[in-house]
């Protein structure tokens, strides 16, 4: 950790900023993904800023009550419950790190209760909304060819938008119908492609000149890599043009929609877990929670009573 010449931290009382700097240095040393580092940098900056505004300058002065007050400030600021919990997790992790490294004299997280997140059914696109969304890109234009390929890939592979934004040409095997992405924890995984998506990617690939193996696969007119914010904005724009309402138009919704359609089509949760890149089934459950309409459709297909009464009747002889 770079520090100005003069008094070392050990020669003075460590500040919240000192704690944050050392924590982030530790995160970088662990070779976390760029996205994860950005997450920690932003959340710890917000927490350190709140501490400064609250007059808490020294790390040793942090207390459980401060963590609770920070969470209340976020809740009063009308942040979504999931967002608040994310901030709480980072503040807790930072405090535990501070206690291990001697910035804090005790574990102030022992009596700190993480805020709960209400269980809700995440809305996904209907078939009609999906068709309308996929029909918005203009197939006569280069941008439309690229965007349709992107939309289909987001839906079909269920990859995170950051994962797709990071792929290079070498990662896309159109003939073998698979792409290789770098997931959380810098873990690579291969994702299969359906035939429809493979054809759309081939059409896009044919429309790009001079694409070398190490070049970004999804590019702008200037040949630059599309970042996740540009892709997210693209999905939202097409959603508005398609008149999609009642559901958030985002890459994450396409990921959820793909996961639910995979299960409804007969896929199993263990395969889905590998496709989504999750280490446990806990998060996978959030992707396959079904709404009331989906439950009714599935019940019509697999009704226990109907299946019993539809059993063939033996012929008496």
Active-site residue, from 184, 189, 225, 286: 184
Active-site residue, from 20, 43, 146, 255: 255
Active-site residue, from 146, 160, 256, 260: 160
- Alpha-helical (H) ranges within 77-191 are 81-100, 127-134, 142-157, 161-165
Output the CA–CA distances (angstroms, integers) from residue 81 to 38, 41, 48, 88, 155, in the order listed.
20, 20, 20, 10, 26
Query: Once rounded to an integer, what is the mean pLDDT over residues 10-29?
Result: 87
User: What 8-state DSSP symbol labels residue 317?
Assistant: -
pLDDT of residue 289: 65
Whether 255 is catalytic is yes
Whether 252 is catalytic is yes
Q: All domains of the chain, ordered by start, with CATH?
A: 11-100 (1.10.150.130), 127-291 (1.10.443.10)
User: What 8-state DSSP symbol labels residue 169?
Assistant: G
pLDDT tens for each residue of 256-287: 899 888 888 878 888 888 888 887 777 677 66
* Structure tokens that stand for 310 in this block: 């539809």
Whether 160 is catalytic is yes
pLDDT tens for each residue of 214-261: 999 999 999 999 999 999 999 999 999 999 999 999 999 999 899 888
Whether 299 is catalytic is no
Whether 310 is catalytic is no
Of 52 and 312, the structure prediction assigns the larger pLDDT to 52
Q: CB of 137 within 8 A of CB of 147?
A: yes
Whether 79 is catalytic is no
pLDDT tens for each residue of 100-142: 999 999 999 999 999 988 777 678 899 999 999 999 999 999 9
- Total-model pTM: 0.70
């Amino acid at each position: 950790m770079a520090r100005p010449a003069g008094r070392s931290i050990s020669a003075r009382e460590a500040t919240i900023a000192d704690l944050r700097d050392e924590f982030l240095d530790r995160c970088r040393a662990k070779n976390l993904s760029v996205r994860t580092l950005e997450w920690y940098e932003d959340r710890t900056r917000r927490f350190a800023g709140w501490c400064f505004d609250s007059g808490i300058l020294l790390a040793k002065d942090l207390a459980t009550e401060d963590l609770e007050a920070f969470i209340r400030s976020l809740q009063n600021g009308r942040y979504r419950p999931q967002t608040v919990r994310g901030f709480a997790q980072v503040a807790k992790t930072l405090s535990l790190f501070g206690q291990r490294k001697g910035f804090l004299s005790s574990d102030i997280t022992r009596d700190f209760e993480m805020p709960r997140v209400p269980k809700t059914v995440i809305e996904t696109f209907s078939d009609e909304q999906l068709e309308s969304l996929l029909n918005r890109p203009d197939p006569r234009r280069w941008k439309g060819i690229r965007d349709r390929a992107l939309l289909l890939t987001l839906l079909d592979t269920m990859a995170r938008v950051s994962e797709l934004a990071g792929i290079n040409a070498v990662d896309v095997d159109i003939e073998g119908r698979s792409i290789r992405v770098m997931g959380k924890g810098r873990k690579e995984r291969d994702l299969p492609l359906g035939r429809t998506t493979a054809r759309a990617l081939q059409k896009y690939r044919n429309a790009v000149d001079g694409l070398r193996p190490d070049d970004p696969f999804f590019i702008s007119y200037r040949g630059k890599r599309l970042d996740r914010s540009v892709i997210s904005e693209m999905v939202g724009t097409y959603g508005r043009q398609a008149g999609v309402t009642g559901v958030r138009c985002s890459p994450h919704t396409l990921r959820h929609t793909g996961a639910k359609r995979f299960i409804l089509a007969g896929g199993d949760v263990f395969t889905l877990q590998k496709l989504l890149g999750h280490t446990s089934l806990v998060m996978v459950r959030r992707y396959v929670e079904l709404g009331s309409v989906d439950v009714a459709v599935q019940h019509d297909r697999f009704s226990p009573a109907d299946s019993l009464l539809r059993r063939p009747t033996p012929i008496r002889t």
